[in-house]
């Protein structure tokens, strides 16, 4: 059975992910791998935001 999830309920969670990934990115200037991976996380979170926006239309 597939569970129905309201995108409006997920939006705050995605915003938390974005905020945490931004903190990692801001503090990772001296660690190239962490800097690179946190940028990737931020890009993935942006895709989640786009997907949630499309589902809520």
Across the range 1-20, mean pLDDT stands at 88
Domain containing 51 equals: 12-55
Q: 39 near 25, Cβ under 8 Å?
A: yes
19-52 pLDDT, tens digit per residue, is 999 999 999 999 999 999 999 999 999 999 999 8
Domain presence at residue 5: no
The domain tally of the chain equals 1
Residue 20 belongs to a domain: yes
Q: Which residues contact 48 (CB under 8 A, 6 or more apart)?
A: 14, 17
d(CA 47, CA 4): 20
Report the distance separating Cα 35 and Cα 54, nearest Å: 29
The answer to whether residue 6 is domain-embedded is: no
**Total-model pTM:** 0.80
pLDDT above 50: residue 57: no
**Residue 1 covered by a domain:** no
- How far is Cα of residue 43 from the mean position of the Cα atoms in its chain? 7
Domain contains 4: no
Read off the pLDDT band of 55 (50, 70, 90).
Answer: low
């Amino acid at each position: 059975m597939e569970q129905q999830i309201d995108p409006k309920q997920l939006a705050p969670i995605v915003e938390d992910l974005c905020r945490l990934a931004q903190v990692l990115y801001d503090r990772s200037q001296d660690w190239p791998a962490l800097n690179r991976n946190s940028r990737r996380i931020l890009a993935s979170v942006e895709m989640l935001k786009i997907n949630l926006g499309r589902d809520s239309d």
